[in-house]
Amino acid sequence: MATNSLLETKKSILQQFQGPVCAVATAFNDDGQLNVEQIVDYARHLKMIGVKGVYILGTTGESFTLTFDEKYQIIQAWYKAIQQLDSEMDNNNNQFLAIVNITSMSLNESKKLLKLMKNLQRFNAWALLAPIFYPVTNVDQFITMIKDISIDTDCQLPFLYYHFPDRTGQQNFELETFTEKALKCLPQFSAIKFTDTNIVRMAKMQRKFGKFIKIFAGYDETLLAARTVVNINAGICATFSLKNCVQSYLKILDSIDQGNLQEAQNYQQILAEFCQQLQSNGNFFSSLKQCLNDELSSTKGLQFGRPRMPVWIPTNSINEKTKTKKTMDDVTFINDLEEIGIHGRSSLRDLLTESLNKNLQNIDDNDIDQQQSLDKITFPEILDFQSNNGIILPSLQPMFPLLHLLGVKSFEFHKSVVEELRENLINRFQEISQKMDPNKRESNLKALLAKSFPLIKMPMIQPVVMALLKNLEVVDDKYLKLLVADETLYKKCDVSVKRHIWQEHQSMLVGELSPILSEYVKEKEAIFANIKESKHIFFLLTPKQRRQNEILQSLAQMVGKNVLLYDTILQFVRTVFIHTKNPHYCTLRVSLLMELHDANITDITSMDACHKFAWCLDACIRENTVDHKRIRELQGFLDNVKKGQEAVFSDLAMALYDPYAVNFLVQMAMRILNILITNESCPREHQTLQFLLRLLNLGLHAHEILKTQTFREPKLNPEILTRFLPIIMGFMVDDQVRSVNSKLPPDDRESALTIIEHSGPPPDCFQTFIQQDPLASIFAIYYTAQAARQRDRQAVLRVLGSLTISSTYNNLSHSDPYQHILISSLIQLGEEFSNDDLCTLVFDEILLPALDMNSTAVHLMKLIYHLNQWLPSERLESLMIKLQHYVQMPNSSKDQRTRQTFVELIEYLEKIKEDKLRKNQPPQTPTTPTVVGPHVAASMDHPSVVGSASVRIPPSTPSIHHPMMTPSSSSSSPHVFPPHHPPPPLPSVPLSPIPTASQPYYPQQPQSPYIETNNPPMSPFSGPLSPLPYQSPFQHPHHHQPSSTSSGHLNRSTSSSSSDKSYPTINY
């Protein structure tokens, strides 16, 4: 019963189908090998241009030149592509139709292909072509063969018979008899692809069997007849890979539905002429493939290669785009005013040439002084030309002699007048559109457009035509098509004109959107690349500031008041979010809606189902609080989603997955947890907390909801309330206990017991929760950030180890917005990074293993930027070497911004080094400059260049303290230099330039003999925030050997030949 139900469902979908189905081409590489990698992009292109389904492995797909393994690969690749398209569509009931032709010279091969289709369970039908070399002489035998394939495979998919008598050589095939018998014997028989020019037979088949089977028109030349005469509303054609052909067929269907037969005939003529040109070029299929390469390689980056032999390669080039640009009402563009009877430079040149020749004929050939005769020639035609074509205004006539005396050329004067008139005319159009009655306005503007549009390619007149188009509410299709056909004109159109174009050509809208959305995401990610800011500046922007983004405002202008364009943009944003998982697209979706809300575009906001929900949430974020009234409003939106409108959950989830919304909801929940600790209450008893968790849970599952198209609210794990949040609250209590204990009088034993009791490792279930539930992951991240801001090193070490790569749900801890929060908070620990345990955990376990993930490298650079003064020199040098190795790797997932940030970090560290060198530089005695050759300079005992700064460092004395060191009172004091360890080994890949083991990043700073040994100055970083004195990173293990003196102070000696080399700067 289940299999019969599946078959009936598939047959019903096939019977109700309408629209174009593309007989897809097969792509090959340059070496003739199969290329299936671009099938997903090919499928998206087809869907974008209006195709409703695909016909796979047909004659257009060169199926008879493919091996069985290649066919197997193609079917699997198309299955994945169609699954992807299904996930991107809003309505599951409007699935992409997919039919596979399993025709083969081997019956066993056809059975194997059908078994594969049965296992995949997504295709709508299988097709079969009549045998080619062995013609069908008996209908019963042919039906038996089809039945044998169906029974052996037990496939309950509808069967489509591919009727193509011109290729099979069976013009006398009894199609009516075959259909009658097949309907009785083959329950899977459901459709026919009628690739035949016999309209009479097509009409008979439709009239007799149209209620039982679906008939697809198979010839481009018969699409109009199939729709008007036979009432067939679906077609399977090879040319539907090309946008103009698909649009022409859709226009045919629309024109007939509107009763405009003449327009439908014009579009059919376009298709017929194009097919004739393909056929006349040698081979229809090879010429079509060449057109695909010409059109899709430049716009989509798709290459289909050359057809396989014996399909012949065309000898001439066909540009499909130019062949299908013909429109119903061709407009002859005028490139010069002379074409409409206004005299120009050509007329004047001809006039003067004719006048000169006439005067030369009057000169006597025997005249001795011909030069004087030539000087006597007058050109009255010039005066006539000026009087006939100049500005004929009595008030201006006296001005011309004056302008001539002032040196103003006539051309410049007339040009300025034309520009002034043009501006006045454009302003007049604006007044007409604002003040005139709408009916009269449209008719007057259209009449002006009809006269001026042929002059649109003239630079002087083009602004006038563009102004007319801008002020029209409805622009005729014939003008829009001409604008689309000329890319230069399209780019100069105002956005209001482009809206008319985008409604009919949504692919052009997508082409405009792609760079805009990419730029929007880059702007968001650029905030993370600002390594100079230690605070989490990403979340400091208010909603109003975010909506002042220029890209967002340009998107709002693109939408205008057009609901169709708004839906198209939202669908594109959803699709990109599904592919990238980037939460910034959720920010864009909500911000665009609220920008239209602020602009009072009620035509759009009133139809967006999540408008009021987003508005209420935006108010909460703006006020940074949520009261009971807002809670009731938000809860009412979630609880009152009506049956049949469940798809709104995807938009609500995107609004809640906006990083600003997640940040707000988690912070509110953390506040409530602190209140619960004070009141000694449980999380499950707090209704507001439960609702906030419900909102967070919906938002954190946004990508899953959209990808799987499961439009329902995900269930909240009750153990988050009963087990996980109590663990977080326990951590908070432990932190408070340790904090209070640190302020009590010292008692070593009691303090040790308190630390042990309240600093134990997290329970085992803690790691399980954050691996399996996004809610647990986000709370663990925010708790760690809170502990870091409070400078609680013990609390950070306790939990931070659970946030390593692959330890949180979908690596949420390494997502840019939340890693930004974590890194900005860790910076507050400052001097704690002088301890190796924290450095090992943060750098070696969390950041370095995930260097290729998102913007982790940039976050690491930010951490180094702010913590370099506390990091041990060996650690700093190791990190810089690894970062340099990373940015130099050709295949690492980085962009130019990462490289620029790395260069900025190097420059900052170099500046610190130079400032300290300059500060410690002894006074110089003025000397007379002496020219020293390079050979002499090389033999000098004292180097004159240290690193990148040109300074002289005299040899230091062995008993002098560094000026930035804090003296210790005893040899056991912690204020001494730790032993220097050699830097880690270099990467196996040779890199240049990278410091060697004998050339660390920070060479040692030599001592100055002019510093007094008594009471050296304290470090500016010493004090309560720094348990260790400031240790200069400018030390060299080979040049300075620490040794203790009788007073317990540390002395350093420096060889006179020591040099300080700067870290190499990389040019990108």
> DSSP letters along 291-318, please?
HHHHHHHHHT-----PPPTTSPPPSS--
Q: What is the pLDDT of residue 678?
A: 92
Share of residues in the chain with pLDDT > 70 (%): 76
- Give the whole-angstrom CA distance, residue 50 versus residue 245: 10
Which of 244-248, 421-425, 690-694, 745-749 bottoms out in mean pLDDT, i.e. has the lowest?
A: 745-749
Q: Is 57 left (phi over 0), alpha (psi -120 to 50) or beta?
A: left
Residue range 31-45: average pLDDT?
88
For the cut 70, the answer to whether the pLDDT of residue 893 exceeds it is: no
| Per-residue pLDDT tens over the stretch 731-755 | 999 988 888 887 777 766 566 666 6
E strand map for 370-475: none
Other C-beta atoms lying within 10 Å of the C-beta of residue 167: 13
Kindly compute the dihedral angle of the four CA atoms of residues 403, 407, 411, 414, in this order, to the nearest 10 degrees.
-30
Q: Are 111 and 71 in contact (CB under 8 A)?
A: no
| Per-residue pLDDT tens over the stretch 462-516 | 899 999 999 888 888 888 888 888 888 998 999 999 999 988 777 788 778 888 9
Q: Are 490 and 483 in contact (CB under 8 A)?
A: yes
AA letter at 1041: Q
Residue range 1-13: average pLDDT?
77
- Give the whole-angstrom CA distance, residue 174 versus residue 195: 15
Dihedral over Cα of 428, 434, 435, 440: its sign? positive
- Give the whole-angstrom CA distance, residue 814 versus residue 820: 9
Q: Are 388 and 378 in contact (CB under 8 A)?
A: no
Q: Is 517 left (phi over 0), alpha (psi -120 to 50) or beta?
A: alpha
Other C-beta atoms lying within 10 Å of the C-beta of residue 348: 14
Q: How many alpha carbons lie under 13 Å from residue 392 in its C-beta half-sphere?
A: 6
Other C-beta atoms lying within 10 Å of the C-beta of residue 987: 15
| Per-residue pLDDT tens over the stretch 115-126 | 888 888 788 899
Q: Is 506 helix (H, G, I), strand (E, B) or coil?
A: helix
Dihedral over Cα of 787, 789, 794, 796: its sign? positive
Which of 182-186, 793-797, 1049-1053 bottoms out in mean pLDDT, i.e. has the lowest?
A: 1049-1053
In angstroms, the Cα distances linking 626 to 129, 682, 929 are 66, 20, 73
Residue 945 confidence class, pLDDT cut points 50, 70, 90: very low
- Give the whole-angstrom CA distance, residue 460 versus residue 717: 68
Residue range 662-674: average pLDDT?
95
Which of 59-68, 69-78, 92-101 bottoms out in mean pLDDT, i.e. has the lowest?
A: 92-101
| Per-residue pLDDT tens over the stretch 130-145 | 877 677 778 888 888 8
> Which position has the higher pLDDT, 954 or 454?
454
For the cut 70, the answer to whether the pLDDT of residue 894 exceeds it is: no
Residue 575 confidence class, pLDDT cut points 50, 70, 90: confident
For the cut 60, the answer to whether the pLDDT of residue 230 exceeds it is: yes
| Per-residue pLDDT tens over the stretch 821-836 | 999 999 999 899 999 9
For the cut 70, the answer to whether the pLDDT of residue 267 exceeds it is: yes
Residue 634 confidence class, pLDDT cut points 50, 70, 90: very high
- Give the whole-angstrom CA distance, residue 878 versus residue 987: 11
Q: What is the pLDDT of residue 159?
A: 93
Residues 6+ apart with CB under 8 A from 64: 105
Which tokens is 748 given? Answer: 């070593």
- β-strands 97-101, 53-56: how paired? parallel
Q: Are 842 and 826 in contact (CB under 8 A)?
A: yes
For the cut 90, the answer to whether the pLDDT of residue 840 exceeds it is: yes
Residue 891 confidence class, pLDDT cut points 50, 70, 90: low
Which of 190-194, 511-515, 764-768, 947-951 bottoms out in mean pLDDT, i.e. has the lowest?
A: 947-951
Q: What is the pLDDT of residue 1005?
A: 39
Residues 6+ apart with CB under 8 A from 412: none
Longest dimension (CA), the chain: 133
Residue 62 confidence class, pLDDT cut points 50, 70, 90: confident
Strand partners, 56: 100
Which tokens is 590 given? Answer: 């909500």
Q: Are 708 and 89 in contact (CB under 8 A)?
A: no
Q: Is 1036 helix (H, G, I), strand (E, B) or coil?
A: coil
- Give the whole-angstrom CA distance, residue 46 versus residue 243: 8
For the cut 80, the answer to whether the pLDDT of residue 967 exceeds it is: no
- Give the whole-angstrom CA distance, residue 638 versus residue 713: 9
Q: What is the pLDDT of residue 362?
A: 65
Q: What is the pLDDT of residue 749?
A: 57
> Which position has the higher pLDDT, 282 or 848?
848
Q: Could you write out the three-class secondary structure of 107-167?
A: HHHHHHHHHHHHHHCCCCEEEEECCCCCCCCCHHHHHHHHHHHHHHHCCCCCEEEEECHHH
Domain covering 2-242 in this structure, CATH number = 3.20.20.70
Residue 588 confidence class, pLDDT cut points 50, 70, 90: very high
User: Tokens 């292109």 correspond to what residue?
Assistant: 45
pTM for the structure as a whole: 0.59
Q: What is the pLDDT of residue 276?
A: 77
For the cut 70, the answer to whether the pLDDT of residue 336 exceeds it is: no
Q: What is the pLDDT of residue 647?
A: 86
| Per-residue pLDDT tens over the stretch 532-549 | 887 778 888 888 888 888
Residue 443 confidence class, pLDDT cut points 50, 70, 90: confident
Q: Is 1054 helix (H, G, I), strand (E, B) or coil?
A: strand
Q: Is 52 helix (H, G, I), strand (E, B) or coil?
A: coil
Which tokens is 464 given? Answer: 């006038």
Residue 341 confidence class, pLDDT cut points 50, 70, 90: low
- Give the whole-angstrom CA distance, residue 1041 versus residue 1035: 10
For the cut 50, the answer to whether the pLDDT of residue 983 exceeds it is: no
For the cut 90, the answer to whether the pLDDT of residue 585 exceeds it is: yes
**Taking each helix axis from N to C terminus, what angle separates 687-700 and 628-639, rounded to the nearest 10 degrees?**
50
Which tokens is 638 given? Answer: 């979630």
- β-strands 1050-1051, 1043-1044: how paired? antiparallel
Which of 278-282, 862-866, 960-964 bottoms out in mean pLDDT, i.e. has the lowest?
A: 960-964
The secondary structure of residue 34, as a DSSP letter, is: B
Spans of all domains in the chain: 2-242, 329-341+407-504, 506-608, 632-713, 1004-1013+1033-1068
User: Tokens 């097949």 correspond to what residue?
Assistant: 182
- Give the whole-angstrom CA distance, residue 879 versus residue 868: 11
Which tokens is 609 given? Answer: 């189902």
For the cut 80, the answer to whether the pLDDT of residue 860 exceeds it is: yes
- Give the whole-angstrom CA distance, residue 753 versus residue 735: 14
Q: What are phi and psi of 161, to 5 degrees?
A: -90, 125
Q: How many alpha carbons lie under 13 Å from residue 594 in its C-beta half-sphere?
A: 23
Residue range 946-974: average pLDDT?
38
Share of residues in the chain with pLDDT > 90 (%): 29
AA letter at 644: G
Q: What are phi and psi of 1026, to 5 degrees?
A: -135, 100
Continuous H helices in 169-283: 175-185, 199-209, 223-228, 243-257, 261-280
Q: What is the pLDDT of residue 98?
A: 92
Q: What are phi and psi of 162, to 5 degrees?
A: -95, 100
Q: Could you write out the three-class secondary structure of 599-616?
A: CCCHHHHCCCCCHHHHHH
pLDDT, the chain, mean? 78
Q: Is 742 helix (H, G, I), strand (E, B) or coil?
A: helix
Residue 330 confidence class, pLDDT cut points 50, 70, 90: very low
Work out the angle at residue 717's Cα, subtended by the Cα atoms of residues 714 and 720, and round it to the nearest 5 degrees.
135
Other C-beta atoms lying within 10 Å of the C-beta of residue 476: 14
DSSP H/E element including 443: helix 438-452
Tell me, rounded to whole angstroms, the distance of Cα 196 from its chain centroid: 44
